[in-house]
Structure formats: structure tokens, C-alpha cells
């Protein structure tokens, strides 16, 4: 799962946009930590508007949800979309082939369950301590480069206010070796689209083509233990220090 991310400094994202001849929306603001549960607007590049990085709202909404009032009663968690069910799940199958997008981030946060030593068959082995509070790890690229997560998006309009924008889910895939060690209960990770594959991802419209991308990331990632943002309640975690390394 991936419910917590960070997005890059505006000047860095603007430089990337300029280098790729993309337009960045004017009121973009960096986030050091943001939770999907507040349905934030984050920088995305959708396949139906590939020349711009625009605000998309985290949590994909289906056509059956017509107003913000109805969002409050929409109970399905669509912050993430499992790769294995994209073409089968009612919520995602209409978007899986033609509504691909990119979410621009510079890191994401994942939970880790502490382990404890137990004796099994006369041997000491490590087991996940299910009763312990989860720790958090911050995952990022070397030198804190910007990278993109693969998303599915759905164009949405509030029939009362007339507001319209894209809503999205982050696609998740089985964890690579690093994320298996960190996200050691669910063993999942967000889909990371390599820089040289971004345009291909946006322009892929078939099931077979889409499925070729739905793999654990094989590039280099770094990670360290950080502030426990998943346990923060009523406090401002959109500050630089939440990403700082905490000694294990």
C-alpha cells in the first residue's frame, strides 16, 4: 500500500517541466508529507493531457459519486489500486486500459513491523511482532531525484458546484527486495515508472501492454527509518524534519 507521499520543491519540478516542455500549474506547492486520507491535490500528468502537470485529487471517484456530499458516504478505499485486479475490479476496469497517469513525487512513506526473536523447533528465528506499533520508513531515490508513480485516473465533476478535475488511485505491485524488508506485513509497493518509460506508460491502451509495466521496481532506491507519520493525529507533519533519518 502507499498512503503517504512527499512531492518535490516547486523549483525542481518547474525545472523538470521546462526540460520536458511541460506546463506546471501555477499554484503548485511542495509537500514534505501528505496523507491520501485528506484527499489532497497533487501533481499528476494524465494521458488525456500529456503536455501539462496538473492538480489531480488523490482517491479515485467513480461516476456514481456525483457530489462532495456523496463522497462523504462513499466507503470504498480507492487510494490504491492493486495491479492484480485492475482489469477485473468494477471500480478500475474502465480506466485500466486508457486512463494511465504519472504522479510526481520525491519519496513515499511505508510502515514496518518490528520483529522479535522466538524459539521454534529448538532454533531462534525472527518473527513479526504483531502487537508492536509499526515504525515508518521514508523511501526515496539517490540524490532525492524526482520520480513518478503509476496511477489510474478518472475525470470527475461535482454536479452541484461544477468543479471538475481528475481523481486518481496509486497502483501497487508486489514489493521488491527492499520493500519486502520494510513493508514486511503486506509486502507491497507503489508502481514506479522509470524515467525512460513514462511516455510509453501514458500511451499504452491495451491489457497486455499495461501488464508489462506492472512489475516491482528494479532501479536503485534508498530508505531510512523516520518519524512515525502514520501515527500522527492532529499535528502538522508537512514539515521537512519528518523525512529525517532516525537511528535504529
Q: Identify the pLDDT of residue 248.
A: 67
Which pTM value belongs to this model? 0.95
Is 71 among the domain residues? yes
In a domain, 248, yes or no: no
What is d(CA 99, CA 151) in angstroms, rounded to the nearest whole number?
8
Q: How far apart are CA 3 and CA 110, in angstroms?
A: 8
If one counts the domains in the chain, the total is 1
Q: What is the pLDDT of residues 43-78, one digit of tens each?
A: 999 999 999 999 999 999 999 999 999 998 999 999
pLDDT tens track for 8-51: 999 999 999 999 999 999 999 999 999 999 999 999 999 999 99
Instruction: Please give the residue range of the domain that contains residue 173.
Output: 4-243
Q: How far apart are CA 246 and CA 248, in angstroms?
A: 6
Tens digit of each residue's pLDDT (9 = 90 or more) over 126-135: 777 777 889 9
Neighbouring C-beta atoms of residue 147, cutoff 10 Å: 23
Domain assignment of residue 54, yes or no: yes
pLDDT exceeds 90 at position 247: no
Tens-place pLDDT, residues 149-205: 999 999 999 999 999 999 999 999 999 999 999 998 899 999 999 999 999 999 999
C-alpha 238: how far from chain center: 16
What CATH number did the domain enclosing 78 receive?
3.90.1680.10
Is 69 strand, coil or helix?
helix
CA distances from 4 to 20, 50, 156, 187 (A): 27, 25, 23, 16
* DSSP letter, residue 148: E
Question: How confident is the prediction for the chain on average, in pLDDT?
Answer: 94
Query: Does any domain span residue 107?
Result: yes
What is residue 126's predicted lDDT score, i.e. its pLDDT? 74
Residue 116: band (very low, low, confident or very high) from pLDDT cuts 50, 70, 90: confident
CB contact at 8 A, 9 and 217: no
- The answer on pLDDT for 122 being more than 70 is yes
Give the separation between CA 109 and CA 176, rounded to whole angstroms: 15
124 — pLDDT class (breaks 50, 70, 90): confident
Q: How many CA atoms lie within 13 A of 214 on its CB side?
A: 24
Amino acid at each position: 500500500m502507499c498512503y503517504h507521499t512527499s512531492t518535490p520543491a516547486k523549483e525542481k519540478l518547474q525545472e523538470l517541466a521546462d526540460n520536458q516542455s511541460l506546463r506546471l500549474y501555477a499554484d503548485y506547492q511542495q509537500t514534505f508529507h501528505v496523507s491520501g486520507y485528506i484527499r489532497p491535490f497533487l501533481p499528476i500528468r494524465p494521458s488525456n493531457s500529456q503536455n501539462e502537470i496538473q492538480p489531480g485529487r488523490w482517491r479515485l471517484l467513480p461516476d456514481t459519486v456525483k457530489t462532495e456530499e456523496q463522497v462523504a458516504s462513499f466507503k470504498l478505499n480507492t487510494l490504491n489500486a492493486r495491479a492484480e485486479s485492475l482489469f477485473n475490479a468494477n471500480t478500475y476496469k474502465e480506466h485500466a486500459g486508457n486512463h494511465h497517469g504519472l504522479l510526481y513525487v520525491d519519496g513515499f512513506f511505508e510502515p514496518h513491523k518490528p520483529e522479535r526473536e522466538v524459539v521454534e523447533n529448538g532454533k531462534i528465528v525472527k518473527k513479526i511482532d504483531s502487537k508492536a506499533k509499526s515504525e515508518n520508513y521514508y523511501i526515496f531515490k539517490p540524490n532525492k531525484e524526482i520520480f513518478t508513480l503509476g496511477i489510474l485516473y478518472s475525470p470527475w465533476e461535482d454536479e452541484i458546484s461544477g468543479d471538475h478535475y481528475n481523481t486518481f488511485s496509486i497502483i501497487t505491485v508486489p514489493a521488491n527486495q527492499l520493500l519486502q524488508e520494510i513493508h514486511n506485513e503486506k509486502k507491497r509497493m507503489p508502481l514506479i515508472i522509470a524515467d525512460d518509460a513514462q511516455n510509453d506508460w501514458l500511451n499504452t491502451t491495451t491489457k497486455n501492454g499495461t501488464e508489462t509495466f506492472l512489475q516491482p521496481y528494479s532501479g536503485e532506491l534508498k530508505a531510512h527509518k523516520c518519524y512515525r507519520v502514520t501515527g500522527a493525529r492532529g499535528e502538522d507533519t508537512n514539515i521537512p524534519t519528518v523525512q529525517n533519518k532516525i537511528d535504529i
